[in-house]
Amino acid sequence: MAEQCIFCKIVRGEIPNTTLYEDESVLSFLDIAPAAKGHAIVIPKKHYQTLLDLPHEELKGVMEAVQKIAAATMVALPGVQGFNVVQSNNEAAGQVIPHVHFHIIPRQKEDRLNIAWEPGKSEAEELKKYAELVKGKMK
């Protein structure tokens, strides 16, 4: 899988990118199909398909890079008033590239992006049931 992965090809230098940040285990670059100007991607250099596959120690480094890039984006880019961090897992959730990655999308109050959802409704008993199901599977 890693041989054909577009992000792994970027890490190996086979595909050019506009690098924002790099260390021994993390790479961040600008998205070539941005949702907004300055839209960045942060990835672990090693191939992991989803967030659940990423070891905790590597996740820590990736999240530190996400925070660093988001903070710089807020002060460096004109008009930025906020940002979204988007991370999807598996095709059903909208993951297009099967390499765990985080999007940092700069936002302005009046931009045209719609990353919101319609809020649902839950009853207290239903919330309690789902909480018990999830807590029972935590490691």
Residue 11 lies in a domain: yes
> What is the total count of domains within the chain?
1
Residue 88 lies in a domain: yes
Residue 1 lies in a domain: no
**Beta pairing class for 19-22 and 82-86:** unpaired
Q: Which of 47, 56, 99, 101 is catalytic?
A: 101
Token pair of 1, please? 């899988």
Catalytic residue at 99?
A: no
CATH of the domain at 40: 3.30.428.10
Q: What are phi and psi of 21, to 5 degrees?
A: -155, 145
- Of the chain, the percentage scoring pLDDT greater than 90 comes to 88
What pLDDT score was predicted for residue 114?
A: 85
How deeply is 44 buried, as exposed, middle or buried, from its count of CB atoms within 10 A (0-12, 13-18, 19+)? buried
pTM: predicted TM-score of the whole model, two decimal places: 0.92
Cα(17)–Cα(14) distance, integer angstroms: 10
Band (91; pLDDT cuts 50, 70, 90):
very high
Q: 52 is in which domain, residue-wise?
A: 6-135
